[in-house]
Structure 1
Amino acid sequence: MWKVCTYQSNSLQSKVIACHLYTYSDTYLPLNIRIAQHLLLAPSLLILQGKVLMVMGLQRVCVAHLQKENTCNLFLASGVLSNIAGTFIFIAMIWNYHSVMNEEGIRFPPSFHIPFRPDRQEISSIIPMVVLAAILMLLSELFTLSYQLPTKSQVYPEVSEV
C-alpha cells in the first residue's frame, strides 16, 4: 500500500476521488505496512541483480570462457540474491496474512472517512498463488545454486576397420 484513495461526493451526481500518498511522517500506518513496502521493493532490485548475474554466468558457459571459479561464483551470487528476495516476499506475505487473520485495523485520519476496520476481512485467493510462487522461486534458485560446471572431457571417435 503506497496510497489511499477515497470517493468524496460534492453533489448528487459528482464524486471526487481524493488520494493521499503515504510518507514516513504518517504515524497512523501500522509498522507491518511500512516494513512490507520495503520488503516488496527490495526484492525487485535483488531479483534484477540476480538475473543479470545469471545471464553473465550462462554467457560464460555458452561462449566457453570457462573459468570455473568465476562462473560458479556468478551462479552462487545469483542464487543467494534470489533466495533473499524470495524470503523478503514470503515474510511480507505471512505478516499481511497474520494482520488480516487477527483483524487488525488502521487508524486513518478522520478526514479520510474510512473506518478503523472493515466489517469483514477475508484472505484473497492470491495468497495460495504467492505461496506457490515463493516455493517455485526458492526451488529454481536451489537448482541454480547446485549448478556445477561440466567436467572437461575429450571425445575420441571410434575408428572402425573398413
Structure 2
Amino acid sequence: MAIATLKDVYIDQLQDLYSACSQSKSMTEKLAGAATNADLKDALKAGANGIVSGMGVATDLVRSHDADPTDEFCKGMEGLVKEAQAHALDAQFEENDARDAMIITQYQRMTHYAIAGWGCLVAFASRLGLDEEAKRLQECLDETYEGDLRMTQIAKGAVNQAAAA
C-alpha cells in the first residue's frame, strides 16, 4: 500500500501493531511458562489475554477500513521477541529469581513498544476525527499501561529483592 495521507499511516500502523501483538502474545505465553513467581506468572497470563483483546480491536478497526490486519510484519517486535528469547529463556540462570527479574525486563520492553504504538494510533484516530476508534484505542493503551505498572509493582515488591539476595 502506498502511503499518501495520515489515514494511510493510521491503517499501516494498525496492521503493524496487530503483527506486534501477535508476536508478543506468543512470547508472553512462553515467559509465563518460565516464570516461577506466582504473581509474575499470573500477570503474564493476564498480559497475554490483554494482548488478544488488543488484537481483536486492531482487527476490527483495520477491517472497518477495508484492509487486512495481516498485511504487515512488525520487524521491531521481531527484534524484541528475539531478545526476550535469548535473554530470558535461552540464557543460563543459577537462580530462578534472577530469571524472573529478566522476564520482567524483557516483557516490559515489549510492552513499552506496544504503548508507543497504541499512543500513536490514538493520536492519529483523534486527528482524523475517528472519535469512536480513538476511544477504543485509548482503552487498549490504558490496559497496556496498567499491565506495565503491574509488572513494575511485582518487580519492586518481590522479584528484584529476591534476585538481589
What is the TM-score of this pair, normalised by structure 1?
A: 0.47
Larger fraction in helix: 2
Larger fraction in strand: 1
What is the TM-score of this pair, normalised by structure 2?
A: 0.47
Relative contact order (alpha carbons < 8 A, sep ≥ 6): 1 or 2 greater? 2
